[in-house]
Amino acid sequence: MTTTEEFHALLGDLSEVPADYIRDVAWTKRVLERWSTDRAFRERYAADPAQALAQIAAPLTPEQVRPFIDESAAVTDTDTLPRSARRYRAFLREKLAFRAGIRTEGEAADPRMAAWRRRQLKRCAGELGAGRSEAIVHAPAAFELSKGCTVGCWFCGVAAPKFDHTWRYTDDHATLWRDTLTTMRGIVGDPLRQSFLYWATDPLDNPDYEHFLTDFHRVLGRCPQTTTAIGHKDTERTRALLRLAAAHGSVIDRFSIIALSALNRLHEAFTAEELLRVECVPQNKEAAKPYAKSNAGRARRFAHKRGDELVPDDDSSTIACVSGFLLNMTDRSVRLVTPCDASDRWPLGYWVLGEGTFDTAAELGELLEDLIATRMRTRLRLTDPVRLRRDLDVTVADGRLTATARGQRLTVTDQPDPDDLADLLTRGTDTAEEFALHRERRSSVPLTHTLAWLGGLFDNGLLDEEPAPALVLEPAAS
């Protein structure tokens, strides 16, 4: 499909995209992967860019990649860029638009879940700041098909425990799997397609992953995205998986590059064009500085030793991207989660609002209904305690109340007695009804006015909904 006279969409059918167009984008991507992952390449490139590109057989000149490597060459006037760079930029824009589309299309069919998710998006924008929160798609579900992960990354943002066992595609499991998806589709609706089959697991640890993926496509009509850190181990399996995913219309997959040798192996085994829609995410120790890891999960334990590889303390950290249900199929457990800034209270970078287990799809349906009914408020009730979120810094000056977070600011100029208002909003001892009665008695603000105002704060994710932290959240490091 052509988006303009010059640019082609690359996330759909490629059959009509000229080969030179794909080559330009795929090779620009490959050079940047090499540059961002390989310190020795960066040094060679700094010394002699043309020779460094020739050594990796890149059919590009330094001028074609410089706008993405050298900040001073990153021009905003697209017309002055080489054609290949304009094509690559268009690809980046297409991927951003795709991600934004997932966020906006992700509202569950159940109106209670939809309202709750909308509020979590707003809360995250305030708590995490614009940059990090916009990168979170708030998928409605993720499914773990193993217990633990064989990879054991020191920086694992969800602190995956050591691999224990996996969930094979037996007849019984296959039936439960399809019934699970069907049951959840009945609640979540089409957005369930945005789910993926890993969390604190690597999908390729399950030898039957491809069967589960195929069933997912059969039931939901979309191929789930794959992210793996072991795609380099058995490249023939990986090649077959990429072909299977492409045949099912997969859009973007990801290889997490935890060692330079893994990138070398992948670049040897796959052409640049084959990896056009597979992002290689630099996680290795030689990675360029901009690829800092979230200070979440197991990484928090290494902050004293490897702090220079982590996102700084004054920035937010989480790798969680689900506002919805986290299922582990090995123990048939469900947790209701939503991202938050990782902290000592929430080291894994997500809240757990409720959990349970199930044996059958019918029990799963009942459990999900219970979690939705009891943990996903659609509006502020009279009996709900009211307090602003803890990350909001509240000040009163010149008759104005201001509450500021990383990505959100509330300014109140039209309410009497702002000091009293600030006190009520931060102490958190009053229910919505008590709050409104207090304001009516003390400051003559009509009860209905205060209740409507508090309801607006709640809908905008400004009121504290943080659950009590679970007792054990972080498994032992492997």
* Residue 405 interacts with ligand SF4 (CB under 6 A): yes or no: no
Here the tokens at position 443 are 């400051």
Q: How far is CA 170 from CA 142, 166, 175, 414, in A?
A: 21, 12, 9, 64
Nearest-angstrom CA–CA distance, 13 and 15: 6
* Residue 144 interacts with ligand SF4 (CB under 6 A): yes or no: no
Q: Is 363 helix (H, G, I), strand (E, B) or coil?
A: helix
Size of the site for ligand SF4 (CB under 6 A): 10
C-beta neighbour count of 1 within 10 angstroms: 11
Q: How far is the CB of 273 from ligand SF4 (least distance, A)?
A: 26
User: What's the gap between Cα 326 and its chain centre?
Assistant: 13
Nearest-angstrom CA–CA distance, 129 and 405: 8
* Residue 184 interacts with ligand SF4 (CB under 6 A): yes or no: no
* Residue 142 interacts with ligand SF4 (CB under 6 A): yes or no: no
CA angle 265, 266, 272 (to 5 degrees): 135
* Residue 262 interacts with ligand SF4 (CB under 6 A): yes or no: no
Phi, psi angles (nearest 5°) of residue 333 = -105, 155
Q: How far is the CB of 153 from ligand SF4 (least distance, A)?
A: 3
Quick one: which of 190, 184, 7 has its CA closest to 105? 190
Q: Which stretches within 155-299 are classed as H helix? A: 171-188, 209-220, 235-247, 260-269
Q: Which residues does residue 338 pair with via DSSP β-bridges, in sequence order?
A: 351
Q: Which stretch binds ligand SF4 (CB under 6 A): 133-141, 196-204, 207-215, 426-434?
A: 196-204
Q: How far is the CB of 299 from ligand SF4 (least distance, A)?
A: 9
Residue 229 vs 361, nearer CB to ligand SF4? 229
C-beta neighbour count of 107 within 10 angstroms: 20
Among 160, 311, 327, 403, binds ligand SF4 (CB under 6 A): 160
Cβ 276 vs Cβ 22: under 8 Å = yes
* Residue 371 interacts with ligand SF4 (CB under 6 A): yes or no: no
Q: Which stretch binds ligand SF4 (CB under 6 A): 28-36, 69-77, 87-95, 150-158?
A: 150-158
Among 125, 153, 220, 242, binds ligand SF4 (CB under 6 A): 153
* Residue 204 interacts with ligand SF4 (CB under 6 A): yes or no: no
Q: Which stretch binds ligand SF4 (CB under 6 A): 40-48, 62-70, 152-160, 186-194?
A: 152-160
- Containing 45, the helix (H) or strand (E) segment is helix 39-47
Q: How far is the CB of 205 from ligand SF4 (least distance, A)?
A: 8
Nearest-angstrom CA–CA distance, 67 and 250: 29
* Residue 457 interacts with ligand SF4 (CB under 6 A): yes or no: no
Residue 17 vs 135, nearer CB to ligand SF4? 135
C-beta neighbour count of 468 within 10 angstroms: 9
Nearest-angstrom CA–CA distance, 339 and 1: 35
Among 229, 299, 327, 422, binds ligand SF4 (CB under 6 A): 229
Question: Which residue shows structure tokens 């060459």?
Answer: 73
C-beta neighbour count of 250 within 10 angstroms: 22
* Residue 152 interacts with ligand SF4 (CB under 6 A): yes or no: yes
Q: Which stretch binds ligand SF4 (CB under 6 A): 44-52, 131-139, 187-195, 197-205?
A: 197-205
* Residue 475 interacts with ligand SF4 (CB under 6 A): yes or no: no
* Residue 149 interacts with ligand SF4 (CB under 6 A): yes or no: yes
Residue 159 vs 410, nearer CB to ligand SF4? 159
* Residue 257 interacts with ligand SF4 (CB under 6 A): yes or no: no
* Residue 202 interacts with ligand SF4 (CB under 6 A): yes or no: yes
Q: How far is the CB of 334 from ligand SF4 (least distance, A)?
A: 19
* Residue 156 interacts with ligand SF4 (CB under 6 A): yes or no: yes
* Residue 151 interacts with ligand SF4 (CB under 6 A): yes or no: yes
Nearest-angstrom CA–CA distance, 292 and 301: 16
CA angle 314, 318, 323 (to 5 degrees): 135
Q: How far is the CB of 261 from ligand SF4 (least distance, A)?
A: 16
* Residue 253 interacts with ligand SF4 (CB under 6 A): yes or no: no
- Containing 114, the helix (H) or strand (E) segment is helix 111-128
Q: Which stretch binds ligand SF4 (CB under 6 A): 56-64, 149-157, 340-348, 418-426?
A: 149-157
Residue 126 vs 161, nearer CB to ligand SF4? 161
Cβ 201 vs Cβ 149: under 8 Å = yes
Q: How far is the CB of 298 from ligand SF4 (least distance, A)?
A: 8
Q: How far is the CB of 351 from ligand SF4 (least distance, A)?
A: 19
End-to-end Cα spacing for the chain: 47
Q: How far is the CB of 212 from ligand SF4 (least distance, A)?
A: 17
Nearest-angstrom CA–CA distance, 58 and 74: 20
Q: Which stretch binds ligand SF4 (CB under 6 A): 49-57, 111-119, 144-152, 397-405?
A: 144-152
* Residue 200 interacts with ligand SF4 (CB under 6 A): yes or no: yes
| List of residues contacting ligand SF4 (CB under 6 A) | 149, 151-153, 156, 160, 200-202, 229
